[in-house]
Amino acid sequence: MSLLQLEHVSRTLRSGRREHPLLCDICLSMDAGELVAIWGKRGSGRSTLLRIAAGIEPHDAGTVRFDGRELPCGAALGDGIGWCGHGARGADGIRVSEEIAGALLARGLPKPVAQARAAAALERAEVAHAATLQCGELDTAETVRVSIARALSTQPRLLVVDDPTAGVDLLERDGILILLRSLADEGIGVLSSAGESTALSGADRALSLSEGRLRGSLSPELADVVPLRRRAVM
């Protein structure tokens, strides 16, 4: 059974009496441990598609299933799904570790467990040095990694990451892509978007979104024999 399935999903934007089809009959499935990247130009609907896949934005038609269960239509982030929105920052004036632990406390976790999870997630995202910094003190690459750590602290089975390299310094981009690849290798499903083809590196499948249509290998069974993985450095 696939970890994530989108079946004939459509989304239409409405302004007065005008309608603009943004997503048309989208079908996609992905497995645990797979990294799928969706490329599209600005305004192509790739961010909307990811938010629908995460369960935080409604769709007009079709079905979204996570681990075999249908996700409510735009009600809330699906349980077991971690979301990393582009440019998402925590509240200024609060230390990074406190912000992540506070979100876990709100979920009902005991304080020692929340603090330990926050520290472990920051370490896994290779941004432990930022634990005592305030969210407003982070550079763009650190903001992306902290966002990933925030999602990892919830121990998700699926990580949805919107445009993780946008605005990131060229020297820092590969490290973020390698991090996502390594998370997939550990068994987490990773669905990401990209505005540039260079951000597709490391993906098992690279799909394109244009004119509301998703093109490429829409299921693992249809994927190329040789995945687009980054070669290990010896």
- pLDDT digit string, tens, across residues 65-121: 999 999 877 555 668 999 998 765 666 778 999 999 999 999 999 999 999 999 999
- pLDDT digit string, tens, across residues 195-214: 888 888 899 999 999 999 99
Strand ranges (DSSP E) for 102-211?
Answer: 158-161, 189-194, 205-210
End-to-end CA separation in angstroms for the chain: 35
Q: Report the distance separating Cα 158 and Cα 30, nearest Å.
A: 10
Residue 223: per-residue pLDDT: 61
- pTM beyond 0.95: the answer is no
User: Which domains are assigned to the chain?
Assistant: 4-222 (3.40.50.300)
